[in-house]
Chain A
Amino acid sequence: MASGVRPRVKVPKTASAGEAVTLKTLISHKMESGQRKDSDGNVIPRSIINRFTCDFNGQNVIDVTLEPAISTNPYFEFEATVPESGEFKFTWYDDDGSVYEDSAEITVA
């Protein structure tokens, strides 16, 4: 597993029904492209987050494919409409098979 990987999310605690809320996510990850060489001329193997998803109460909100040109510590900001109280679930998939998860509750007042 790549070292120093830590997911972070920022989700409002409350919303009104049907409101579009802004979600921010960031995962610390080196995103090694596989295109670089070390000082001995050997290719540094690719090691990236290749997929990111967000679900709300089991329903998919966003499903992103990440490519090697995406830089260190990938950041995503997007909006989601919230019909009811529930939980956002965020998942990042690493090249090495690791899966990182985070979640956040939101209450519809």
Chain B
Amino acid sequence: MSVVVKRVTAMLALGGAVLASAPAFADADEDNLVINGDIAIVTEAKAPAHMEYVDTIYSGWRFRSDETQVMQADDFDNPGMIGVENAMEKWAAVDGSEGKSCASCHGDAEESMVGVRPVYPKWNEEAQEVRTLEMQVNDCRENRMGAEKWGYTSGSMVDMVALITSVSRGMPVSVAIDGPVAETWEQGKELYYSRTGQLELSCANCHEDNYGNMIRADHLSQGQINGFPVYRLKNTKLNGVHARFKGCVRDTMAETYSPGSAEFVALELYVASRGNGLSVEGPSVRN
């Protein structure tokens, strides 16, 4: 296991209004993540061209303590893998009026689902919509299995998304931002930079202007989603992307959008695109 404790402080380009007169300091640590001694994870990359104010992107893993980081280096130590195991059972279980399981059509998830996570959310031509993985899973359940939809943030759903994600670990996130998704992406970007709540803070105020700084006892990351679903030590369960967004919006003391809403789908597409180039890491472990 190669968690080495060594810290550097690097100066970064600054942006946004909050710290306009003071430079922001990045304090991502210098540790390397290799899962199961086998899957090398890219936790730092050159920022995609569309990002104006950030030069280097970092996985949230780089901002966590060594004790938390190490849990993600071995699947046995990663409690998020419990969700993956649960989902494997669901994958093979027949459900709904058509008498089918996921496996009936998709075979072995460890083969058929490789490469799926890195490109989501993505455009679905037939439905003419941007789909998150959760939406796609529910579409299969409802329209191909004749089964009931799962709740967007339900345990079954987040476990299934963890399974589908886990088989792409190490592959680079690469969501498309142009063509038919361009409008949704713009909408997501707009939301990212809009201040909300009584605190009047945007995502960017915390995750772009202040990553590396402490906010109370928490070490601010860039708010990347390459590690989702995330097993949080705080609530001892797997958390989906929209559940995290909801928590962050609520922390600005605002009314939040609902998980699965068009707004959060757009925001997910935009935030995912800010991680283009980082490895898929989920299920990851965070505090």
Where the two chains meet, the residues of A that have a C-beta atom closer than 8 Å to any C-beta of B are 4, 6, 8, 10, 24, 26, 28, 71-73, 75
Which residues of B50-99 are within 8 A (CB) of A? 76-77, 79, 82, 85-86
Partner of B76, one of A4, A26, A28, A71: A26
Question: Is B236 part of the contact surface with A, judged by Cβ < 8 Å?
Answer: yes
B85 touches A6 (CB 8 A): yes
| Chain A nearest CB, measured from B158 CB (Å) | 14
- Name A9's closest neighbour in chain B (CB-CB): B76
Q: Which residues of A lie under 8 Å from residue B82 when comparing CB positions? A: 6, 26, 28, 73
Q: Which residues of B lie under 8 Å from residue A71 when comparing CB positions? A: 236
B76 touches A73 (CB 8 A): no
**Known contacts A4-B86, A6-B85, A73-B82; is-contact A24 B236 (Cβ 8 Å):** no
Q: Which residues of A lie under 8 Å from residue B76 when comparing CB positions? A: 8, 10, 24, 26
Q: Which residues of B lie under 8 Å from residue A73 when comparing CB positions? A: 79, 82, 236
| Chain A nearest CB, measured from B105 CB (Å) | 27
Partner of A24, one of B77, B79, B85, B86: B77
A75 touches B77 (CB 8 A): yes
Q: Complex formed: what's the CA distance from A72 to B83 in Å?
A: 14
Please report whether the interface of chain A is mostly helix, strand, loop or mixed according to DSSP.
Answer: strand
- Name B75's closest neighbour in chain A (CB-CB): A10
Q: Which residues of A lie under 8 Å from residue B86 when comparing CB positions? A: 4
| Chain B nearest CB, measured from A92 CB (Å) | 15
| Chain A nearest CB, measured from B138 CB (Å) | 22
Beta-carbon contacts of B100-120 to A below 8 Å, as 1s and 0s? 000000000000000000000
Q: Complex formed: what's the CA distance from A10 to B74 in Å?
A: 11
Q: Complex formed: what's the CA distance from A89 to B26 in Å?
A: 48
Between A and B, 18 residue pairs with Cβ closer than 8 Å are: A4-B86, A6-B82, A6-B85, A8-B76, A10-B76, A24-B76, A24-B77, A26-B76, A26-B79, A26-B82, A28-B82, A71-B236, A72-B236, A73-B79, A73-B82, A73-B236, A75-B77, A75-B79
Q: Which residues of B lie under 8 Å from residue A26 when comparing CB positions? A: 76, 79, 82
- Given A6-B82, A73-B82, 10 extra CB contacts under 8 A: A8-B76, A24-B76, A24-B77, A26-B76, A26-B79, A26-B82, A28-B82, A71-B236, A73-B236, A75-B79
Q: Which residues of B lie under 8 Å from residue A4 when comparing CB positions? A: 86
Q: Complex formed: what's the CA distance from A29 to B85 in Å?
A: 14
Q: Which residues of B lie under 8 Å from residue A24 when comparing CB positions? A: 76-77
* B77, B82, B85, B236, most chain A CB atoms within 10 A: B82
Q: Complex formed: what's the CA distance from A23 to B77 in Å?
A: 12
| Chain A nearest CB, measured from B236 CB (Å) | 4
Q: Which 5 residue pairs spanning A and B have beta carbons closest together?
A: A72-B236, A10-B76, A28-B82, A73-B79, A24-B76
Q: Complex formed: what's the CA distance from A71 to B82 in Å?
A: 15
Q: Complex formed: what's the CA distance from A26 to B86 in Å?
A: 15
Q: Complex formed: what's the CA distance from A10 to B85 in Å?
A: 15
Q: Complex formed: what's the CA distance from A75 to B76 in Å?
A: 10
Q: Complex formed: what's the CA distance from A4 to B86 in Å?
A: 9
Q: Which residues of A lie under 8 Å from residue B236 when comparing CB positions? A: 71-73
Q: Complex formed: what's the CA distance from A24 to B236 in Å?
A: 19
- Name A75's closest neighbour in chain B (CB-CB): B77
Q: Complex formed: what's the CA distance from A72 to B236 in Å?
A: 7
Q: Which residues of B lie under 8 Å from residue A8 when comparing CB positions? A: 76
| Chain A nearest CB, measured from B273 CB (Å) | 34
